[in-house]
């Protein structure tokens, strides 16, 4: 009996590889039948479309044949106008001469993997290292993408190039828009977390699995070794969550952590290598951190899904207690939140306790802090209020004093109070701390409002003669705008109705990204952000009308337009309220407004009602504060002003107070939520305002100074009263950074933040003769981090060292300018800068403790603000010897920092370097 010949192992082939093989054979042998029968030695399985289009326009019909009889049957079938391709693993000797005589080239065509693979890459030969990977040829053929392998410019296909492309396909990098060059540890770890990815890897031929695993470990070391240990143990899909758990457990030596390590090691199977686990954990933390900060929403969600699963594994392994110090797990973040909550309350009891700064810094160092930016912002606001409560403050000595301090300090308190009021949604400790801090700070603010109300009553009764040194709403246009109008300076006046000092703080911070803030009334004095006193009562109908009329008046939009257009502010002055300013479909701003803005001889005033309207209707969302994009069409309007080269003056007509669980007070004579007009004398929380500054019948009203009281049903906020927030109107003036024609008397504004806003800035000096409300704060015990983002001008408001005193600016700068190194560096600069300018710049920086806005530095040195950038570069060439950063630009080159200790070292100057 004849023994049957067992078919040998044949190659599996896919449509891409088959098309390549057919095209190769038909191109090489063109003299035969254009539609031949071709027999290919391959696995007789074809789970694809039986019709295969060829590059030259012909089609092939693919038929698997598992036996000689199946081959004979298809040879007998007509196949006009198509190439018939028979796939079989039957040995050629078994088919016999009869079959061979009727097929293409009279032979069974062998499919050689390396021949096809090398040809697909556009090379000629594989290198010896690749050929030794015997499994790789078939794998590369099987994995060939629909467009084929990329064509190379070299004749030799190397092992690393081929296997990198193979791994990229098997790991599905193209699904994430990546290519083989992007294959790294991060790509490998992210692959493990994709649904079904590890399972699909397990379906590859064992030889290919083993070969790819070896090559990936060779390329990426310990993290890949740990990953494939998990894959082999059936836990590959949990690789990234487990890596985060390992990061927590392997970075502490507690008894619990040591026990947990044993459980986790079993999860890895046979892996018993601490160094490998640590490397794997570190790589995972880095990858997940990148996912959490990614802009793509899908990647961001994947990162949070990894965190959620990691928390489940913590519970599974009993490792929750070992993860409190984790720099990425939610358990570690929650532990730090608890510590911050306790430190906030402790800070209220003992302002000298440095623990608060330490734990807040620890919290912000957690890798989840960036994705929890709203919560971090509220914590920082609470921390600032704790410092303010521990600082010394005094009641306002006058209306002018109160308004200016509202703009310079207490508006920042109001901003912090907004954020702290918003609270925390989960952590009960933070909720309690926020509530306690809010109540204490709010009470102090009420005390200040009560004191201010007494000053306001006396000032209102005294009349216009008491306005010395005080800018009032009706004098704003004559004082600030008329000088610009006389010089025909193109200017935009924006009235952000209802903007209070705290809104101005946030708005100014955002505008600093494009504009430079100026004090339009500085003259030869100190530049600062100014405050304006609203008309009384602090209503839009009174205060905004008085603003546009240039005199105390009451009216509406029609009155404002008529008074503004009467010619006093120039023959072409135009005012745009909400309706006329807004464009139609597809337009942000109306054509009429755009035309007016393009005319340099026209004074343009625009009213933006977003803040005022929000007081009546509220706003969606829980986040406190205002962003530029949330203020109607203001961003578009300012962009238009920048294109037109206009100066911008941004102000308001009055401020506002917010509804924070206030008390409803019945008043039959209430004329607004915050003032009444009847004859009844002032009661608790009220102040009687009489005199020529009160625009009301009989020049008298009774107004609420207490922000927690109202006369009418609850709304989101109110105005019309006598609190600091309602009476104080911020004044912001701006020019573009490249402005060369700075108006006379305009000076760049220095840093606006109050002393307690950051730890490195001591509290402002208070009048020694005044009665303090709270004890003085302690001195800072730690060097604070570099400020970033809260304001453009980071100038510490602190006393400079005495000129001539040891370490003072005169001693240091004089010694510096006398050094031979300075002379040499100054002589090498291509643009010679006057030594007096250099001296003035250095003294300004030393007096400001090393940090100044670039525009302010240029102004102090006698340079135009438009030349600030070039001036700073020249200074850097002089002082940054051997490229050491003695003088550096920070905050997107808006701020200049002088490293004074490094300056002493580089130029060999005396001093302790501190």
Closest CA relative to residue 316, chosen from 277, 246, 264, 278: 264
- Give the H or E element holding residue 688: strand 686-690
The pLDDT tens digits of the residues spanning 546-587 come to 999 999 999 999 888 888 876 677 777 889 988 778 887 878
Q: How many CB atoms lie within 10 A of CB 190?
A: 26
Query: Within 13 Å and on the Cβ side, how many CA atoms surround 785?
Result: 11
Residue 353 above 80 pLDDT?
Answer: yes
91-134 pLDDT tens trace: 888 888 888 888 898 899 888 888 888 888 988 899 999 999 98
Averaged pLDDT for residues 519-526: 88
Mean pLDDT of 272-286: 91
Phi, then psi, of 820 in degrees rounded to 5: -65, -35
Residue 622: pLDDT band by 50, 70, 90 thresholds?
Answer: low
pLDDT tens for 842-873 read: 988 888 778 887 877 887 888 876 677 788 88
Residue 77: the pLDDT is: 80
> Which parts of 699-843 are beta strand (E)?
700-704, 709-710, 717-718, 728-735, 747-748
Residue, of 521 and 271, whose pLDDT is higher: 521
DSSP summary character for residue 670: B
Q: What does the pLDDT look like over 355-397, one tens digit per residue? A: 999 999 999 999 999 888 899 999 999 999 999 999 999 999 9
Give the tens place of pLDDT for each residue, 728-742. Answer: 999 999 998 877 788
Rounded Cα–Cα distance for residues 25 and 103 (Å)? 13
**For residues 813-818, average pLDDT:** 88
Block residue for tokens 């960036």: 370
Instruction: Enumerate the β-bridge partners of residue 489.
Output: none
- CA-based nearest residue to 266, from 255, 252, 282, 277: 277
Rounded Cα distance, 73 and 83, in Å: 16
**pLDDT at residue 624 greater than cutoff 80:** no
Mean pLDDT on 694-722: 95
CA 595 – CA 647 distance, rounded (Å): 17
Strands 59-64 vs 51-53: parallel, antiparallel or unpaired: antiparallel
pLDDT band at 619 (very low <50, low <70, confident <90, very high): low
What is the pTM assigned to this prediction? 0.74
Contact 166, 140 (CB under 8 A): yes
Give CA 61 to chain center in angstroms: 57
Q: How confident is the model at residue 20 (pLDDT cuts 50, 70, 90)?
A: confident
At 878, the pLDDT band (50, 70, 90 cuts) reads: confident
Instruction: List Cβ neighbours of 25 (8 Å cut-off, separation of 6 or more).
Output: 38, 104, 105, 109
Query: Does the N-terminal peptide bond of residue 141 adopt cis geometry, omega within 30 degrees of 0?
Result: no
For helices 411-422 and 428-462, angle between their N-to-C axes, nearest 10 degrees: 150
Distance in angstroms (rounded) separating the CA atoms of residues 897 and 844: 11
Nearest-CA neighbor of 854 among 713, 845, 846?
845
pLDDT for 449 beyond 80 = yes
Own/partner pairs, 466-471, CB within 8 angstroms, 24+ separation: 469/400, 470/399, 470/400, 470/403, 470/533, 471/521, 471/530, 471/531, 471/532, 471/533, 471/731
Residues 801 and 791: their CA atoms lie apart, in Å, by: 25
pLDDT tens for each residue of 771-784: 333 333 333 333 33
* Angle at CA of residue 620, ends 615 and 621, nearest 5°: 120
**Residue 462, pLDDT above cutoff 90:** no
Q: Which residues lie across from 359 on neighbouring strands?
A: none
Alpha carbon distances (Å) from 302 to 78, 193, 198, 220, 299: 55, 9, 16, 23, 5
Dump pLDDT digits (tens) for 482-497.
Answer: 888 888 889 999 999 9
What is the pLDDT, as a whole number, of residue 858? 82
* Separation between Cα atoms, residue 719 and residue 748, nearest integer Å: 31
The C-alpha atoms of residue 137 and residue 120 are separated, in whole angstroms, by 12
Q: How confident is the model at residue 652 (pLDDT cuts 50, 70, 90)?
A: very high
Provide the terminal-to-terminal Cα distance of the chain, rounded to the nearest Å. 102
Using CA atoms, how far apart are residues 819 and 813, in angstroms rounded to an integer? Answer: 10
Question: What is the rounded distance in angstroms from the CA atom of residue 293 to the CA atom of residue 303?
Answer: 9
pLDDT score for 430: 97
User: What does the pLDDT look like over 44-74, one tens digit per residue?
Assistant: 989 999 999 998 889 999 999 999 999 998 8
Instruction: Determine the pLDDT at residue 467.
Output: 63
CA 432 to chain centroid, in Å, comes to: 29
Separation of alpha carbons 689 and 564, rounded Å: 28
Which among 83-97, 424-438, 746-760, 768-782 has the top mean pLDDT? Answer: 424-438
pLDDT at position 789 over 60: no
Share of the chain above pLDDT 90, in %: 50
């Amino acid at each position: 009996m004849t023994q049957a010949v067992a078919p040998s192992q044949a190659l599996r082939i896919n449509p891409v590889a088959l098309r390549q093989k057919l095209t190769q054979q038909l191109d090489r042998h063109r003299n035969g039948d254009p539609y031949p029968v071709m027999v290919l030695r391959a696995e007789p399985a074809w789970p694809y479309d039986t019709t295969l289009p060829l590059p030259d326009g012909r089609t092939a019909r693919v038929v698997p044949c598992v036996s000689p009889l199946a081959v004979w049957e298809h040879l007998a079938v007509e196949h006009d106008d198509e190439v018939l391709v028979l796939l079989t693993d039957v040995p050629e000797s078994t088919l016999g001469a009869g079959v061979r005589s009727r097929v293409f080239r009279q032979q069974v065509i062998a499919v050689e993997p390396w021949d096809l693979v090398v040809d697909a890459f556009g090379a000629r030969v594989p290198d010896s290292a690749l050929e030794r990977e015997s499994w790789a040829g078939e794998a590369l053929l099987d994995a060939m993408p629909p467009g084929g392998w990329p064509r190379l410019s070299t004749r030799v296909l190397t092992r690393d190039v081929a296997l990198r492309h193979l791994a990229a396909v098997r790991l599905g990098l193209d699904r994430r828009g990546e290519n083989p060059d992007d294959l790294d540890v991060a790509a490998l770890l992210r692959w493990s977390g994709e649904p079904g990815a590890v399972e699909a890897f397990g379906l590859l031929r064992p030889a290919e699995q083993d070969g790819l695993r070896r090559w990936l470990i060779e390329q990426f070391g310990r993290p890949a070794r740990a990953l494939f240990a998990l894959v082999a143990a059936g836990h590959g899909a949990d690789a990234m969550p487990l890596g985060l758990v390992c990061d927590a457990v392997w970075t502490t030596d507690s008894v619990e952590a040591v026990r947990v390590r044993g459980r986790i090691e079993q999860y890895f199977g046979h892996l018993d290598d601490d160094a490998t686990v640590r490397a794997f954990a570190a790589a995972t933390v880095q990858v997940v951190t990148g996912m959490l900060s990614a802009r793509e929403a899908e990647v961001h969600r994947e990162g949070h899904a990894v965190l959620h699963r990691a928390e489940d594994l913590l519970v599974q392994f009993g490792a929750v207690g070992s993860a409190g110090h984790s720099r990425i797990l939610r358990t570690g973040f929650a532990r730090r939140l608890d510590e911050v909550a306790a430190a906030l309350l402790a800070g209220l009891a003992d302002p000298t306790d440095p623990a608060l700064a330490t734990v807040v810094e620890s919290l912000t160092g957690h890798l989840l802090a960036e994705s929890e930016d709203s919560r971090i912002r509220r914590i920082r606001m609470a921390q600032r209020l704790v410092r303010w409560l521990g600082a010394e403050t005094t009641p306002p000595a006058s209306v002018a004093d109160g308004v200016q301090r509202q703009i310079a300090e207490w508006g920042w308190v109001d901003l912090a109070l907004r954020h702290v009021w918003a609270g925390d949604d989960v952590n009960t400790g933070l909720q309690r701390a926020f509530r306690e801090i809010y109540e204490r700070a709010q009470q102090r603010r009420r005390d200040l409002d009560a004191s201010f109300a007494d000053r306001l009553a006396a000032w209102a009764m005294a009349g216009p003669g008491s306005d010395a040194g005080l800018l009032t709403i009706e004098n704003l246009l004559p004082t600030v705008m008329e000088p610009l109008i006389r010089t025909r300076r193109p200017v935009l006046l924006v009235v952000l109705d209802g903007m209070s000092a705290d809104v101005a703080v946030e708005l100014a911070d955002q505008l600093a990204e494009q504009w430079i803030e100026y004090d339009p009334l500085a003259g030869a004095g100190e530049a600062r952000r100014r405050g304006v006193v609203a008309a009384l009562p602090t209503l839009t109908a009174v205060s905004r009308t008085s603003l546009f009329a240039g005199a105390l008046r009451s009216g509406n939009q029609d009155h404002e337009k008529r008074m503004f257009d009467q010619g006093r502010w120039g023959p072409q002055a135009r005012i745009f309220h909400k309706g006329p300013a807004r464009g139609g479909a597809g337009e942000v701003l109306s054509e009429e407004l755009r035309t007016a803005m393009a005319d340099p001889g026209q004074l343009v005033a625009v009213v933006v009602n977003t803040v005022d309207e929000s007081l009546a209707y509220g706003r969606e969302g829980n986040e406190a504060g205002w962003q530029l994009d949330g203020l109607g069409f203001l961003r578009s309007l300012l962009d238009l002003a920048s294109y037109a080269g206009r100066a911008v003056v941004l102000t308001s007509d009055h401020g506002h107070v917010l509804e924070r669980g206030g008390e409803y007070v019945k008043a039959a004579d209430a004329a607004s939520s915050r003032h009444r007009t009847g004859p009844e004398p002032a009661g608790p929380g009220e102040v009687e305002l009489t005199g020529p500054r009160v625009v009301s019948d009989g020049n008298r009203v009774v107004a609420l100074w207490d922000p927690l009281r109202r006369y009418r049903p609850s709304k989101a906020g109110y105005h019309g009263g006598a609190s600091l927030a309602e009476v104080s109107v911020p004044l912001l003036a701006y020019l573009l950074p490249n402005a060369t024609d700075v108006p006379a008397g305009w000076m760049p504004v220095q840093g606006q933040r109050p002393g307690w806003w950051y730890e490195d800035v001591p509290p402002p000096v208070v009048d020694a003769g005044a009665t303090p409300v709270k004890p003085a704060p302690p001195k800072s015990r730690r060097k604070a981090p570099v400020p970033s983002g809260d304001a453009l001008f980071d100038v510490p408001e602190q006393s400079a060292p005495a000129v001539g005193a040891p370490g003072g600016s005169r001693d240091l700068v004089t010694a510096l300018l006398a050094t031979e190194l300075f002379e040499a560096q100054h002589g090498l600069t291509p643009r010679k800068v006057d030594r007096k300018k250099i001296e003035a710049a250095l003294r300004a920086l030393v007096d400001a403790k090393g940090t100044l806005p670039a525009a302010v530095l240029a102004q102090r040195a006698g340079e135009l603000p438009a030349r600030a950038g070039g001036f700073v570069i020249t200074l850097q060439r002089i002082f940054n010897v051997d490229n050491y950063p003695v003088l550096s630009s920070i905050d997107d080159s808006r701020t200049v920092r002088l490293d004074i200790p490094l300056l002493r070292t580089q130029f060999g100057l005396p001093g302790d370097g501190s």
